[in-house]
Amino acid sequence: VVDVFDRYPTPFGLVRFGVAPDHAETKLVTNKFHETLTTRDDIRFYGNVQLGRDVSVGELYDGYHGVILAYGSSGDRTLDVPGEAELEGVMSAREFVAWFNGDPEHGPESATHNAVVRA
């Protein structure tokens, strides 16, 4: 049996909320994940489970033969450009992608009506 834990209530948290919309090919992996979760009785999904809050790494090691920790970045890399930290409305790519994809932690209260993106 394989148990999949995600801190979000829905599966595919990192792909759903952490991959930019212009990376459609990467997001296609959710189709395979969905098929696997819905057709295999030996794979179970548990949502709203946060490592360190709801279960410890030690508990996982004690309860399973193998443990894989797969996660995205919870922090940002700064560019060290003037105004990056002080100016209102400046956000990192990670924050913007999470907001754009509907990450519950970056909900409507953090939304603005304007966005300027420069490459």
Q: How confident is the model at residue 9 (pLDDT cuts 50, 70, 90)?
A: confident
Average of per-residue pLDDT across 6-23: 84
Amino acid at 4: V
> In degrees to the nearest 10, what's the CA dihedral of 14, 103, 99, 94?
-30
How many Cβ atoms from other residues are within 10 Å of residue 37's Cβ?
A: 14
pLDDT score for 74: 75
Residue 19 pLDDT exceeds 60: yes
Q: How confident is the model at residue 38 (pLDDT cuts 50, 70, 90)?
A: very high
Q: How confident is the model at residue 104 (pLDDT cuts 50, 70, 90)?
A: confident
Higher-confidence position of 67 and 22: 67
Cα 50 from Cα 45, distance rounded (Å): 13
Cα 85 from Cα 1, distance rounded (Å): 46
Q: What is the pTM of this model?
A: 0.70
Could you tell me the two tokens for 91?
């956000």
Mean pLDDT of the chain: 83
Higher-confidence position of 96 and 39: 39
Residue 118 pLDDT exceeds 70: no
Side-chain-side CA neighbours of residue 94 (13 Å) = 10
28-32, 39-43, 104-108: which range is least confident on average?
Answer: 104-108
